[in-house]
């Protein structure tokens, strides 16, 4: 199936642009599927059939052409792929005059076939990988799953991370971005990375982790930054990644995939300027991401702050207070304000919300209320 009508005609057109002779390409059944003479397409070539049968060059001259049907003087050479005859290439003309072209034309045809074969194998492997990734993240492992993994030399015992990569770009750029990502990630396939497109602007990467112990986030970020660096060369690419906890087995990856998708969703809301969102840093927001604000008044505490904070100073202060673990000097420096101003703002938050940020339990209630407000904002 490698020698298609389209490829056969491409071989004909390329060859005829170099040598001024008619070229025919026949398939393994001797049928002409590519020719400089369109009237001959679809006809069976007896000279090609003999070349296939004898597995060697066949010459047709003015003297012996009457022995065949639908032939002209010329030479016919079987073309091989992986030591198998896949077709025949014929050059029309007096054999003694065109003989010097024969092996060159045959070699050029076989090179084109080999390139097509390699491309098809890579595409086939990519389709297999995408199918495997889909099965893993949906925990839909069938009887042939492990056979496919073995065929691709994928180690199923190695721990992995589930990484969801989402990007913004012009719609017309999606296909180009996907191809670039497949190329860059394909270079790492020897390391065991599995990647698949699950929508026009989302990729899932199952990244193997070979080192023991705690996940090295800095190392992971550096590796993913390299990917983003190359992708940012495409002007319209703006990517964000969410990274799961380490998965010890394939069966853990369905749950990890769902959590990682939620991590990306809440990460973009809470920290829109970031590019990386590790699930381990967003466990609580992910946990509360499915909760909708109801008529429960306690869930509206943060909304009271928002409604009484036209400049956004109180919201900024509470966020800094949470991120800096209540350390007043750090918070004041972070906000470029005096400690007395910070105390004033904290007291104002307490007065408006009824919750004291310096009280751990009440601060946690404020934090949850803040999360729910952010996650449910229109």
Q: Is 20 exposed, middle or buried (0-12, 13-18, 19+ CB in 10 A)?
A: exposed
Superfamily of 155-288 according to CATH: Reverse transcriptase/Diguanylate cyclase domain (3.30.70.270)
> What's the whole-number mean pLDDT along residues 271-280?
93
- List the structure tokens of 320: 């800094």
Residue 191 pLDDT > 60: no
State the sign of the Cα–Cα–Cα–Cα dihedral 338, 343, 348, 353: positive
Q: What is 297-375's CATH topology?
A: Arc Repressor Mutant, subunit A (1.10.10)
pLDDT digits (tens, 9 = 90+) for 133-147: 888 898 887 778 888
Torsion of CA 272, 263, 183, 134, to 10 degrees: -150
pLDDT higher than threshold 80 for residue 294: no
Q: Where are the domains of the chain?
A: 5-115, 155-288, 297-375
Same fold, 5-115 and 297-375: no
Instruction: For residue 297, name the pLDDT band (cuts at 50, 70, 90).
Output: low
3-state SS assignment for residue 81: strand
Q: How far apart are CA 377 and CA 113, in angstroms?
A: 57
Closest CA to 267 of 116, 165, 122: 165
Fold assignment, 5-115? Beta-Lactamase (3.30.450)
Phi, psi of 33 (to 5 degrees): -115, -5
Reported as a single tens digit per residue, the pLDDT across 195-228 is 888 888 889 999 998 877 788 888 888 888 888 8
Q: What's the pLDDT tens digit per position in 105-118?
A: 888 888 888 888 88
Tell me the Cα Rg of the chain.
33
Give me the sign of the Cα torsion angle 35, 37, 38, 43: negative
* Cβ atoms within 10 Å, residue 141: 14
Q: Which of 1-15, 254-268, 291-305 has the lowest mean pLDDT?
A: 291-305
Q: For residue range 27-38, what is the model confidence (pLDDT) as tens digits? A: 999 999 999 989
Tell me which of 346 and 128 has the higher pLDDT: 346
Write the CB contacts of 94 (distance below 8 Å, at least 6 apart in sequence).
Answer: 61, 62, 73
Name every residue whose Cβ is closer than 8 Å to that of residue 130 and which is 6 or more positions away in sequence: 196, 197
């Amino acid at each position: 199936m490698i020698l298609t009508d389209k490829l056969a005609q491409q071989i004909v057109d390329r060859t005829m642009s170099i040598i001024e002779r008619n070229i025919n390409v026949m398939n393994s059944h001797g049928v002409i599927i590519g020719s400089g003479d369109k009237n001959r397409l679809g006809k069976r070539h007896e000279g090609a059939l003999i070349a296939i049968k004898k597995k060697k060059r066949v010459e047709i001259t003015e003297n012996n052409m009457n022995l065949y049907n639908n032939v002209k003087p010329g030479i016919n050479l079987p073309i091989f792929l992986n030591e198998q005859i896949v077709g025949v290439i014929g050059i029309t003309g007096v054999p003694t005059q065109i003989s010097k072209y024969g092996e060159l034309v045959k070699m050029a045809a076989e090179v084109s076939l080999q390139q097509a074969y390699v491309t098809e194998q890579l595409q086939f492997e990519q389709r297999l990988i995408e199918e495997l990734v889909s099965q893993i993240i949906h925990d839909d492992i069938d009887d042939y799953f492990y056979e496919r993994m073995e065929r691709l030399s994928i180690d199923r015992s190695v721990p992995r991370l589930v990484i969801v990569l989402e990007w913004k770009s012009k719609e017309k750029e999606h296909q180009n971005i996907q191809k670039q990502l497949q190329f860059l990630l394909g270079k790492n396939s020897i390391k065991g990375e599995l990647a698949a497109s699950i929508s026009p602007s989302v990729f899932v990467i199952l990244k193997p982790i070979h080192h023991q112990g705690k996940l090295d986030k800095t190392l992971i970020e550096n590796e993913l930054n390299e990917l983003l660096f190359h992708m940012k060369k495409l002007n319209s690419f703006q990517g964000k990644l969410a990274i799961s906890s380490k998965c010890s087995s394939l069966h853990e990856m369905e749950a990890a995939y769902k959590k990682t998708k939620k991590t990306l969703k809440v990460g973009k809301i809470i920290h829109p300027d970031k590019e990386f969102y590790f699930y381990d840093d967003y466990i609580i927001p992910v946990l509360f991401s499915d909760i909708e604000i109801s008529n429960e008044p306690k869930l509206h505490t943060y909304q009271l702050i928002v409604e009484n904070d036209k400049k956004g100073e109180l919201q900024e202060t509470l966020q800094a207070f949470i991120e800096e673990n209540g350390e007043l000097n750090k918070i004041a420096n972070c906000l470029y304000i005096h400690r007395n101003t910070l105390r004033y703002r904290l007291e104002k938050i307490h007065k408006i919300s009824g919750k004291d940020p310096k009280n751990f339990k009440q601060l946690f209630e404020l934090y949850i209320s803040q999360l729910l407000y952010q996650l449910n904002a229109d």
